[in-house]
Chains A and B, each alone.
Chain A
Amino acid sequence: MTNHFQNDLVEILKERTAKGQISRRQMLQGLGALMGTTALGLGAGSAQAQEGRLVFVNWGGDALDAMDAAFGQPFAEETGINVLYDGSGPTEGAITAQVQGGRPTWDLVDAEPFSSQALGRQGMMEPIDYDVVDPAKQREGFHWEYSSSCYFYSYVIAYDATKYDTPPTSLADFFDTEKFPGKRSMYKWGAGMWEAALLADGVAPEDLYPLDLDRAHAKIEAFKEHVGAFWGGGAESQSLLLNGDVSMALIWNTRASLLHKDTEGEITFTWDDGIIGPGGIGVLKDNPGGKEAAMNYIAATQEPERQVVLFQMLGNGPSNPAADALIPEEERRFNPMDPANLPKQVALDMAWYEENYSAALDAYLQIISA
C-alpha cells in the first residue's frame, strides 16, 4: 500500500542512524516530518545549509555502497567534505518538490540527463561549471548544460541460453517469436523500447531520431501478446528471467551481467543492438552544500581509477574513456563502452527525451496496460 514509501524512508533513516551518518536528533526530526509535518512545511527548519557536507541522491540498492566506495570516500579524504548517499530516487517530480519548497536538502542528483536539462531550463538546476569539470574527460556527444556525464548503461537482449540453440543476435530476433519462441519482457517506463521496436522494424540506427512513435507503438501493440511482463525495476527484470517467467528480455546490462555470472552463462546477453543510456550528475539550484563543493565532487568522479571501482561494483560503463583500458582484460566484455562492444550499440538521444518523453510515455502506457 501507499504506506510502503514512507516505511522505506523510515528504514533509510534508521540505516543512516545506525551508520552514524545522521544524529539521533536529526532522525527524530525526520520521523516527525514523515508523520505529517512535512505537509505543513514545518519540517523545513531541519534542512539548514551545511558546510563540509554534500548529499548525493541516487536510486538506492547497491549503488549506495558502490558510489560511496568509488567516489565518496576518496573525496572525503581529499577535501574533508563528507558525502551522504541517499537512495530515495531523484525523479523529476521529487527534484521539483525539493527546489520549489525553498531550502533544498539535496546537493547532487543521479538524475536522467534529460530531466536535469528540463529542470535546468526552468531555473531549478545549476549549470555545470566546465572550468572545474573537465570536458576532455568525457565522451564525445555526451555533454549537457545541466548534467555532467558520469556513467553509462545499456538496454541489452538477455536470454535463457538453455532454451535457444542459436542465440539471438538482433532486435529483429527479439521481436521474432517464431524463430525464438517464448515470452518476452520489456521496460515499463518506455525508454529504449521505442528505439528497440523501430530498429527491429528496419529503421537504420542513424535515422532513429526523431522517433516515429506511431510506427514504434504499432510494432509494440502487435507484439504485446508475447510480452509476459513489463518490468519496472532492475531487481524485477532479473527475477523474471531467473524464475523462468520469460525467456528473453530487454534489460539493463548491469542486471544482465549479474545474471550471466550468477547462472554461469545459463542466462546470458548480447551487446548486439544494445541501446546505450547515459547517466549524469546534476546540481540543484542553491544547494545547501554550496555550488563549488558540488562541482569539485563531480570533477573528482572523473578520475578513471574511481570509475573502474564503480564499474567493478555496479557494472556501469565509465564516462571517462581513459578508464576503459584500466579495466582488467577478462572483465572488459561486461563494459558497455568497451571499444569492442560500443560499435554494436546505439545511444538514447537526451534532447529528444527532454522534449517528448512525457507524451510518449503516456501513449506507451496506454498501449501496454490496455
Chain B
Amino acid sequence: MRPVLFLICPVLLFLGASYLLPFLGIVQLSFTDPDPGLAQYGRVLTEDLPTGVIWRTLRLCVIVTAVSVSCAYVITLLWVRGSPLVRSITELCIMIPFWISVLSRAFGWLSMLSNRGLLNTWLQDLGLIDSAIQMTRNEFAVVVGMSHYLIPFAVFPLATAMRNVDERVLTAADGMGASRLRIFWQVFLPMTASGIMGATLLVFVFSIGFYVTPALLGGGQSVLVAELIYLWLFQIPQWGMAAAMSVVLMLGVGGILFILMRRYGEMAK
C-alpha cells in the first residue's frame, strides 16, 4: 500500500496547489470583500435575488436529474440487454452526442424547438396544431437541453450496475413464476439501485454548475447560480458576494454528496 500512496503524491500536490489554494483564496474573499465579516453570507442567504436563484437552481436540477436518470435507465437497459443490433444503435446514440460541444447542442435544440423550428413546422404541416407552441426560451427548453447533455453521464454507472446483476437470480425469479413486470420491479430494479444512486449523484452535482445551456435556452428568465456568480464577477463586480455564493454552492453540493454517499455506501453493503 505504501508505495502506491507515494506514487499518487504528485497528483495530490498538484490538486492541492491548483484547486485547494485558490479555493481558500475564494473563502478568504467571501469574508473580506468589501468589508470584513459575515455580511456577504447574510446577503446571499437572505436577499431576494440570490435566494430566489438558489431555489430555482435546486428545483431545476432535481427535475433534470429525475428526467436524465429515468431516460438513461431505459437507454442503458436497451444497451446492456438488447439484441446486438439494438445494442450498437443505442451505443451510437449515446456516444455521438458525447462528442458534440455543449454550445452546438444548445443551438441544435433551438433550431429544433423554436417557433419556426423543425418540430413546430412538422406539427403544423400535419395539422395537429394551428399556431406554434412556444417550446424554447423557457424552463422546458432548459430541462430538455440539460437532460440531453447529462444522460450519457448517467448511462455509465447504470450500465456497470446492470452488468453486475446475476443472471441466475432473474432465472430463479422466472422459475418461481414471477411475471416479467414483477421481475423487473421486485428483482432487477432493486439490484441496480446502487447504479441509480451513482447516476443521480453524478448528474445532480454536474447539473448545478450549468451555465451555457440555461443561458441560451432559458430566454433570460431562468438565471441559475452559475450565471449569477458570473454576473457578480464580471458584469457588476461584487467579488465578495460571488465568493460567498461559491462557498455556499460548494458546501451545499458537498453536503448533498456526503449524505448520498453515506446512504449509497449502506445500500452497496
Q: Which residues of A contact B56 (CB under 8 A)?
A: 369
Q: Looking at the complex, which one of A36, A231, A357 makes contact with B18 (CB distance below 8 Å)?
A: A36
Contact A92 B236 (CB under 8 A): yes
Q: Which residues of A contact B71 (CB under 8 A)?
A: none
Contact B212 A1 (CB under 8 A): yes
A4→B227 CA distance, assembly (Å): 13
Q: Say yes or no for A20: interface residue by CB 8 A criterion.
A: no
Stretch at the interface among A137-145, A239-247, A279-287, A328-336: A239-247
Q: Looking at the complex, which one of B137, B211, B216, B222 makes contact with A228 (CB distance below 8 Å)?
A: B137
Shortest A36–chain B CB gap in Å is 4
A368→B222 CA distance, assembly (Å): 9
Contact A243 B115 (CB under 8 A): yes
Contact B221 A39 (CB under 8 A): no
Nearest to B47 among chain A residues (CB) is A362
Q: Say yes or no for A166: interface residue by CB 8 A criterion.
A: no
Nearest to B56 among chain A residues (CB) is A369
Shortest B212–chain A CB gap in Å is 5
Q: Looking at the complex, which one of B114, B134, B222, B235 makes contact with A369 (CB distance below 8 Å)?
A: B222
Q: Which residues of B contact A40 (CB under 8 A)?
A: 17-18, 21-22
Q: Which residues of B contact A7 (CB under 8 A)?
A: 101
Q: Looking at the complex, which one of A236, A245, A366, A370 makes contact with B216 (CB distance below 8 Å)?
A: A236
Interface bin, chain B: 35 or more
Contact A243 B110 (CB under 8 A): yes
Shortest B35–chain A CB gap in Å is 16
A152→B132 CA distance, assembly (Å): 37
A36→B20 CA distance, assembly (Å): 12
Contact B219 A365 (CB under 8 A): no
Q: Say yes or no for A232: interface residue by CB 8 A criterion.
A: yes
Q: Looking at the complex, which one of A3, A93, A188, A229 makes contact with B233 (CB distance below 8 Å)?
A: A93
Interface of A is mostly: helix
Contact A358 B110 (CB under 8 A): no
Q: Which residues of A contact B101 (CB under 8 A)?
A: 4, 7
Number of interface residues of A (CB under 8 A): 40
Contact residues, A207-257 vs B (CB, 8 A): 228-232, 236, 239-240, 242-245
Q: Looking at the complex, which one of A37, A228, A366 makes contact with B49 (CB distance below 8 Å)?
A: A366
Q: Which residues of B contact A37 (CB under 8 A)?
A: 18
Contact A93 B234 (CB under 8 A): yes
Shortest A57–chain B CB gap in Å is 13
Nearest to B235 among chain A residues (CB) is A91
Contact A2 B221 (CB under 8 A): no
Q: Say yes or no for B180: interface residue by CB 8 A criterion.
A: no
- Interface bits B116-134 vs A (CB < 8 Å: 1, else 0): 1100000000000000101
Q: Say yes or no for A18: interface residue by CB 8 A criterion.
A: no
Contact B236 A230 (CB under 8 A): no
Q: Say yes or no for B266: interface residue by CB 8 A criterion.
A: no
A1→B212 CA distance, assembly (Å): 5
Q: Looking at the complex, which one of A4, A91, A92 makes contact with B212 (CB distance below 8 Å)?
A: A4
A91→B236 CA distance, assembly (Å): 8
Shortest B65–chain A CB gap in Å is 15
Q: Which residues of A contact B52 (CB under 8 A)?
A: 366, 369-370
Q: Which residues of A contact B252 (CB under 8 A)?
A: none
Contact B132 A369 (CB under 8 A): no
Contact B239 A93 (CB under 8 A): yes
Known interface pairs A231-B220, A239-B110, A243-B110; A2-B134 also in contact (CB < 8 Å): no
Q: Say yes or no for A322: interface residue by CB 8 A criterion.
A: no
Q: Which residues of B contact A242 (CB under 8 A)?
A: 116
Q: Which residues of A contact B210 (CB under 8 A)?
A: 1
Q: Say yes or no for B27: interface residue by CB 8 A criterion.
A: no
Q: Looking at the complex, which one of A93, A230, A232 makes contact with B237 (CB distance below 8 Å)?
A: A93
A242→B136 CA distance, assembly (Å): 14
The residues of A with any CB-CB pair to B shorter than 8 Å are 1-4, 7, 36-37, 39-40, 89, 91-94, 96, 183, 188-189, 228-232, 236, 239-240, 242-245, 357-358, 361-363, 365-366, 368-370
Closest 3 interchain pairs by CB?
Answer: A230-B220, A229-B219, A93-B234
Other A-B contacts than A243-B110, A366-B52, 5 sampled, CB-CB below 8 A, are A40-B17, A93-B239, A229-B137, A239-B110, A366-B49
Some 9 contacts from A to B, beta carbons below 8 A apart, are A4-B211, A92-B235, A229-B220, A231-B220, A243-B116, A361-B236, A365-B231, A368-B221, A369-B220
